[in-house]
Amino acid sequence: MLKLCENTSLGEKYYKATVKGMDIYVIPKELSTVYATIAVNFGASDTDFVLDGKEISLPSGTAHYLEHKMFDSPDGTDAFEKFSVLGANVNAYTGADKTCYLFSCADGFEQCLRLLFDVVTKPCFTDESVEKERPIITQEIRMYMDDPYWKMHFGLLGALYHNDPIKNDPAGTEETIANITPKLLYDCHRSFYNPRNMALCVCGNVNAEEVVKIAEECIPDYEEVSLRRIRPYEPAEVCCHKREFSLDVSAPLFAVGIKCTPPENGEELMRAEAENEIIVQAIFGKSGSFYNKYYEEGILGDRFSSGYSNEAGTALVMIYGSCDEPERAYELIKQELDNRKDSFCTKEEFERAKKVCYSSALDTYNSTEDIASAFVSYVFRNGDFLRYTDYLRNADYDSVKARFKADYSSERSAFSVIYAKEDSNV
Amino acid sequence: MVIKDYNLREGVDLTVLSTEKFKSNLMIVELRCPLRKETATHYSLITNVLSRCCRKYPTLREFNVALEELYAADLDAYVSKSGEVQKVCFKLSCIENSYTYDGADVLAGGMRLLGEMIFNPLLEDGAFSASVMESEKKNLKEEIEALKDDKARLALSRCIKNMCADEAFSVTTAGDTEILQSISASELKTSYDELLKSYPVSIYFMGREAPEKVKEYCDRYLPFAPREKRLFNTEVKKGTGDVKYVTEPTDAVQSRLCMGFRTGRSIKDDDYVALLLACDVLGSPSGKLFMNVREKLGLCYYCSPMLDGVKGLLIVSAGIFAENRKKAEEAILQQIEALKKGDITERELKSAKAVAESAYKEIYDSASSIINWYSARRGLGLDISPEEMAARIKNTTVEDIARVARDIVPDTFYMLEGGAAEC
C-alpha cells in the first residue's frame, strides 16, 4: 500500500510503503540519473550487542569490513562488474549508525535494483576472500592517515567523547581488522541485515509501484533474532579540552567542537536540526560578526566552516578553520559563546540565518543523490526530510534562543589542532 | 533543455540553457586568457580581491550580508584551467524566485551584485585598496600552499609539473607565491584593466528565466566592451617514449604513485571517443585497473586514471607502499599493453560503453556540468552536445580502442614517497 506525502510549496513529494518490514521511500524526480540506497541500521558504533543471549563485542572496523565483503557474489563474480555492464555505479559507505549500499544509473534501473538487493541479502564469505581484503582496507586506512582533516576530526571526537565508539575511525585500525573472520561477518549479517532493520530510498524518474513490486520479489524471508544493542555510558562533559598532532601541512588547522544534547527521534529530531543549524549559522556564519571581525583582522582566513551534526546518539557543533595561532582561535570562539549566552543574536541575524539554511536545504532538491541521501539520514529515526524546510521557516526566535542558552557551553567544548611540522620537504 | 545563443557585442557571447529541472539559477561569466606564468598569479589574486568586497559593499561583512539577504545567493570569483587557457570566472548561483517566501527578486538582486563585483571594485587613488590586497595576498598564499595538505592532489600536480616542465600547461592557475609577494596595488589594477578589456567573454546561464530577460540583465549589469574574438590553442604533444622517473620524499604514511602518459589526442579529434572508452576500460568501477591492481594483487585501495581531454594527458594514480612501486608500475603498464593488443573482453567493452553513455546523460543533471561541457568545447571552436558525443559510442570497436591506445606513450612516472610512522 503506497502512501503519498507532499510538500506543495516546494512542489515535491514522495511515496512510502512497507514490504516485509522494510520501509521503502520513492521520491519522483525528472532527472536522467536514478539514485537508490539500501540503508542497514548497523554502523561503526554498533560494536557491542547481545545476540540470542550471547554478548558479542566486535573489533573496531567490522561493519566496514562487512560492507566491503558484501560485494562478493556466491557464484564468484564481482558485483561491481554486473553494475558496470549496465552503466551503473555501485558503491557503499559505513557511517557511525548505518551502512549504505547505493547505485546511480541512467538506464537499467530495474536490473540494478535487483542486483542491489542481491548485494545486501546474499552474503558469501570464505577464509580466502576475507583474507584478500585485508591489504586493500589497510591501504584505505593509511590513505586517511595522511588526511589532516580526517585526523583532526577524529582528534576532536576523541577529546569530546570518553567512551562513545563514534570517536573511532569506522574502518578500524590495522590491528583491529587483523582479527576479523568469516564467522564474525556471518554473525553480523544474520543479526543486523534483517528487512526490519533496513530501508530503501529511491530518487529519480521511476514508478513507485514498480519499486514495491521488485522489493516484494527480492526481500527474502528472515529468521527473527533476539538482538539488543549495548552503548557505553557517555558523560555529558567532554573527555579533555585539547588533542594535538603534527603533520606535514602548510598552516596550522583547528577544529572546535561543542558537545550538545542528542535529540529524541521524530519531531524533536527535525526541530533540533533546524534550530541548531540556524544557531550555528547566526553565530559562526560567513556574514556573522564573529567571522568577519577576525577575517578583517587577519586571524581567520578563507578556510573556515561550521556545522551541526547528530548521529548514533551523539550531537555536536563543529567549527573548522586555519589560523597561525590556533589557541587564540579557540579562546575567541569560547568568548563568543560566553558573550552571547544571554543575548544570542539579533532578530535580523536570526532571519538571515534562516534564509541561508533554507536555501541550502532547497539546493538538495537539485540532485537525485542529494535527495536520496537526505531522506536516508532520517529513515531509522522517524524524521521526514520533506518537512525540513517547514521546520526552518517556522523556527521561532525565542525557542531557538532558549536552545542556545541551554545547550551551548564553552565548558562543554574541545579543540583539536594539527600543527605544521617544521621540516617539510616538497 | 533549449539552448539560445546571443552575440552581445564583438567577442562577448551569451548562451542561455533553459530548463525547469532545477530550483536554482546559475550564471557563469568567463574570460579566457592564455595561461602564462607572468599573468596567472595576477589574475588569481584579482579574483580573490574582487570577491572580498566592492565599492558599494566595502567590507566582506557588508558584501556577505547583502548576499545572504538574497537567500544566500552564492557569488564568487575564481580561476580555473582548461588546457593552456586560464579561465577567470565569475559565478552567481541563487534560488529560483518562486521559492522565496517573501517574494524577493533574487535573480535581479544577484545580477546587480555580480555586476558590482566585476566592474566596481573598491579603489584607493586609482589602485586597489592596499590593505584589502595585502590581506588577500595572505589568503591566496595560504590557498596555494594548502596543496600539500592533500597528498593525492599534490602528487598529481607534481607529476604534471615534471611532465610538462617546458610547456605552459605546467603553470599553476592559482598562482606562484614568489610572484604574489611582488605585486603592487597599482600593478594589480593595470592587470585588472587589461583583463577586463582584452579577452573574449563567454557568459552562460542555466535556469528558468526567459532568455530575453537574461539578455536584458546582461546588457544592464555586465557592460563588457567589444573585443577581438579569439581562440587560444593548447598544444597536444606526442610522446617520445623516454620515461622520466621522479621520486620526491614527503612526510606521509602512504606513497602516491602517478604515472603520466601522453595520448597524442584531444577532444578536438574525431576519434576522441575511442580514447575515452580506452580510459573507461581501464578505469570503470570494474575496469582492468580495479580488477587487477586492486582486487587481484591487493596493491592499493584506489587505482584510477584521469584523462585530460584538452591537453591529451592520461595520469594513473594509486596509493601504495613505497616498496611496491615496481610491482604497481608493471601491473599498470600491463593493463595498458593489453589495451594496445586489443585484449579487451566483450563484457569489458560493454561496461566501458555503458559507463560512458551514462556519464554523458548525467551531465544534463547538473547545471555546472553542462556549462563546463560547453565552455571546454566552445573555447576550442567545437560545438557538440553530450548527446551527440554519446551517439558516437555505439559504433566504436575494440580495434578502434586498440588503435588509439597504441598512441598512449609513457612520459613521467612520479612518486611522492611516504613511509612515515603512523602518528
Whether the pLDDT of residue A426 is over 70: the answer is no
Same domain, yes or no: B364 and B258: yes
A186 and A325 belong to one structural domain: no
Residues A201, A124 share a domain: yes
pLDDT at B285: 87
| Residue A14: inside a domain | yes
pLDDT at B12 (0 to 100): 98
Does A235 map to a domain?
no
What is the spatial distance between Cα A374 and Cα B20, in angstroms, rounded to a whole number? 22
Inter-chain CB proximity A287 and B347 less than 8 Å: no
Round to whole Å and give the CA distance between B311 and B83.
5
Beta bridge partners of B416: B248, B256
Residues of A in contact with B145 (CB under 8 A): 250-251
Nearest-neighbour CA in chain A from B261: distance (Å): 23
Chain A, residues 216-245, CB within 8 A of chain B, namely: 245
Looking at residue A181, its pLDDT comes to: 96
Show which of B173, B190, B221 is a domain's final residue.
B221
- CB-nearest to B319 from A143, A247, A285 is A143
Q: Is A19 helix (H, G, I), strand (E, B) or coil?
A: strand
Nearest to A85 among B101, B150, B350 (CB): B350
Looking at the fold, whether A96 and A179 belong to one and the same domain comes out as yes
Does A106 share its domain with A177? yes
Which of B187, B221, B255 marks a domain boundary? B221
Q: Which chain A residue has the Cα nearest residue B301? A: A136
CA distance A388 to A357: 10
Q: What is the pLDDT of residues A108-122, one digit of tens each?
A: 999 999 999 999 999
Report CB contact under 8 Å: A362, B294.
no
**B423 closest CB neighbour out of A149, A245, A423:** A245
Helix locations, A315-367, DSSP H = 326-339, 347-363
The answer to whether residues A213 and A71 belong to one domain is yes
Tell me: the pLDDT tens digits for A226-235?
A: 899 999 999 9
Q: Are B237 and B391 in contact (CB under 8 A)?
A: no
Residue of B nearest to A364 (CA): B23
pLDDT tens profile B326-370: 999 999 999 999 999 999 999 999 999 999 999 999 999 999 999
Domain check: are B156 and B19 in the same one?
yes
CA distance B45 to B36: 14
- Kindly state whether residue B227 falls inside one of the protein's structural domains: no
Tell me if A236 is assigned to some domain: no
Report CA Rg, chain A: 23
Residues A43 and A145 in one domain: yes
Q: How big is the CA angle at B291 (ends B289 and B294), to the nearest 5 degrees?
A: 75
Task: Please indicate, yes or no, whether residues B136 and B198 belong to a single structural domain of this protein.
Answer: yes
Same structural domain for residues A316 and A393? yes
CATH label of the domain that carries residue B147: 3.30.830.10
Q: Are residues A10 and A136 in the same domain?
A: yes
Q: Are B153 and B64 within one domain?
A: yes
pLDDT category of residue A423 using cuts at 50, 70 and 90: low
pLDDT of A86 higher than 90: yes
| B279 and B130 housed in the same domain | no
pTM: 0.94
Query: Which CA distances in Å does A95 have to A46, A92, B337?
Result: 10, 10, 39
Residue A163: pLDDT band with limits 50, 70, 90: very high
Is A32 close to B361, i.e. CB distance below 8 A? yes
Report which DSSP code applies to B212: H
Q: What is the pLDDT of residue A287?
A: 86
Q: What angle do CA B286, B288, B291 make, to 5 degrees?
A: 60
pLDDT over 90 percentage in chain A: 92
What pLDDT does residue A424 have? 47
A16 with A54, same domain: the answer is yes
Of A185, A203, A230, which one is at a domain's C-terminal end?
A: A230
Residue A180 within any structural domain of the chain: yes
Alpha-carbon span B94 to B108, nearest angstrom: 10
For the segment A300-338, what is each residue's pLDDT rounded down to a tens digit?
Answer: 999 999 999 999 999 999 999 999 999 999 999 999 999
Nearest to A249 among B60, B148, B358 (CB): B148
By residue range, what is the domain housing residue A352?
242-420
Residues of chain B with pLDDT under 50: none
In this structure, the answer to whether residues B199 and B252 fall within a common structural domain is no
Claim to verify: residue A202 and residue A306 sit in the same structural domain:
no
Sign of the Cα torsion A367, A368, A370, A374 reads positive
Q: Cβ distance B318 to A140 under 8 Å?
A: no
Distance from CA of A40 to the nearest CA of B (A): 23
Q: Which of A135, A285, A425 sits opposite B250 (nearest CB)?
A: A425
Residue A129 maps to which CATH number? 3.30.830.10
Cell numbers at residue B420, please? Answer: 612515515
Q: Tell me, what DSSP letter sits at residue B146?
A: G
> How many Å apart are CA B11 and CA A178, to the nearest integer?
63
> Which of A89, A253, A301 shows the shortest C-beta gap to B139?
A301
A423 touches chain B (CB under 8 A): yes
Q: Are residues A155 and A272 in the same domain?
A: no
The domain in which residue B45 lies consists of 2-221
* Grid cell listed for B30: 568567463
Contact B285 A89 (CB under 8 A): yes
Distance from CA of B387 to the nearest CA of A (A): 12
Chain A residues with CB-CB distance to B99 below 8 A? 9-10, 362
pLDDT digit string, tens, across residues A392-407:
999 999 999 999 999 9
| Chain B residues lying within 8 Å of A285, measured CB to CB | 68
Identify the DSSP state of A59: P
Q: Which amino acid would we find at residue B133? A: M
Q: How far apart are CA B385 and CA B387, in angstroms?
A: 5
pLDDT at A339: 96
A296 contacts B59 by C-beta, under 8 angstroms: yes
B304 and B407 in a common domain: yes
| Count of the separate structural domains present in chain A | 2
Domain annotation covers residue A425: no
Residues in chain A: 426
Supply angle C-alpha A115, A116, A120, rounded to 5: 115
- Domain total in chain B: 2
User: What residues of chain B lie within 8 A of the CB of A64, using their CB?
Assistant: none
- Residue B6 in domain: yes
A31 in contact with chain B, both atoms CB, cutoff 8 A: yes
Contact at 8 Å (CB) between B14 and B30? no
Distance CA B231, CA B211 (A): 25
Q: State yes or no: pLDDT of A425 exceeds 70.
A: no
Answer whether A248 sits within 8 Å of B250, measured CB to CB.
Answer: yes
Burial class of residue B176, CB neighbours in 10 A (0-12, 13-18, 19+): middle
d(CA B100, CA B24): 11
- Chain B residue closest in CA terms to A137: B301
**Which of B221, B254, B288 corresponds to the end of one domain?**
B221
Give B-chain residues touching A83 at CB under 8 angstroms.
285-286
Q: Which of B71, B286, B353 sits opposite A359 (nearest CB)?
A: B71
